[in-house]
Structure 1
């Protein structure tokens, strides 16, 4: 009896390269994605965003390090949805324009 190559209905399958057309605003990394993208992007982990307020004017960076490229200024009071925290940096998405990047975690406080 030959093996079937068809997947049961509703299961993920790779049919083409991932759509990265709006990458600056797409909260997906190789290891993690926003929970809202589950079923659309295949990664090992999905995260529920944790809203944080920016304590003082700072920078949204492309990499989690002081010399990372500055994507834009992020103002005190803005909301930043944190998806991951590592090495003193938070990776996530700015609420105002949905831009994805890194903010120093010490510049954030949880929104209640």
Structure 2
């Protein structure tokens, strides 16, 4: 009578851990935290849930540009970037860039044409 070879041992799979949201969600000020309904700064991944995260791309203002609360040209101005000011680019849609002005800490929208790559 022949014996069939033993089946290879199955690797131990660790028990699945679950994650739970606890407490109330907090609303973050969108002019101070780079969080939108569709995108967030990856540096906030441990604080907020977003469908997508983006790592900032360093840019600087090539010309003076108003940082606004929304894409609309008539939206409120948060601050004005001076030529040479740093800007942390997170998204470009059409002709508008969204990101952070680190000098002021404001998050908003500027014309994409007003930005250039840092050397």
Relative to the length of structure 1, the TM-score reads 0.83
The answer to whether residue 101 in structure 2 is matched with residue 94 in structure 1 is: yes
Q: Equivalent residues in 2 for 1:22-101 (5 A)?
A: 22-101=29-108
SS of aligned partner of 2:79 = strand
1:59-106: CA deviation from partner (whole Å, max 9, x where unpaired): 001111222211121111001101110021000000212100001000
Cα deviation for residue 39 of structure 1 reads: 2.4
Q: Structure 1: 5+ residue runs without aligned partners?
A: 1-6
SS of aligned partner of 1:106 = helix
The answer to whether residue 26 in structure 2 is matched with residue 18 in structure 1 is: yes
Relative to the length of structure 2, the TM-score reads 0.79
Instruction: Kindly report structure 1 stretches of 4+ aligned residues shifted beyond 6 Å.
Output: none
* Contact 1:90 1:104 (C-alpha < 8 Å) held by counterparts: yes
Q: Structure 2: 5+ residue runs without aligned partners?
A: 1-15
Aligned length: 104
